[in-house]
Amino acid sequence: MDLSSNLILVIVVTSIATFASRFLGILTAEKISDKSKLFDWFNCVAYSILAALTARMVIFPAGALLESTLLIRLIVISISIAVFIYSKKNLVLPTILSFIFFTILSSIN
């Protein structure tokens, strides 16, 4: 198989694997009310999974973040969270600042 059609297959397979979870979620949710205990449980699990994913991204990163030290990541993230809290939960400021800070700190290192 040539490279191009192989890449298309890879994209199709990835999209199906991803859509499966979303679609399965819709089917499961069909009979679930937003006042039920089951909904509550899924909600807690979803938040917990997102928190676990984010913590993993910071502490055991993959890709480009591997080139930075944990200390620098924690410093930049703490500053960004402080900006978020003191700016009445503005998200544009901390996201832009984190990029600028982190790029500069990575250049110095």
Partner 1 sequence: MINHKYFYQGLRSLVSSRSPAIALACSFVALGALMYNAGFNLQQSVASSFFTYALPGQLVMTESFLAGASLVNIFLSVWLVNFRLYPMSVALVPILKHKSQPRWKYYLSCHMIAVSSWLIMKDTYKKIDKKYRLDYWLGIGCGTLSAAVISTLIGYLISDFLTKEMMIGLAVVNPVYFLCMMIGAMNNLKTIIAVSGGALLGPILYLATPEWSILIAGIVGGTIAFFIKDKKNGSI
Residues 2-61 that bind partner 1 (CB under 8 A): 3-4, 7-26, 28-30, 32-36, 39-61
Residue 74 interacting with partner 1 (CB under 8 A): no
Question: Based on CB atoms, which residue is closest to partner 1, 71 or 92?
Answer: 92
Is residue 75 a contact point for partner 1 (CB under 8 A)? no
> CB atoms < 10 A from the CB of 76, how many?
22
> From the CB of 74, what's the least distance to partner 1, in Å?
11
Number of residues that bind partner 1 (CB under 8 A): 81
Asked whether position 69 contacts partner 1 by CB under 8 A, the answer is no
Residue with tokens 């890449």: 7
Contact at 8 Å (CB) between 80 and 98? yes
Q: What is the dihedral of CA 25, 26, 28, 33, to 10 degrees?
A: 120
Could you report how far apart the first and last alpha carbons of the chain are, in Å? Answer: 44
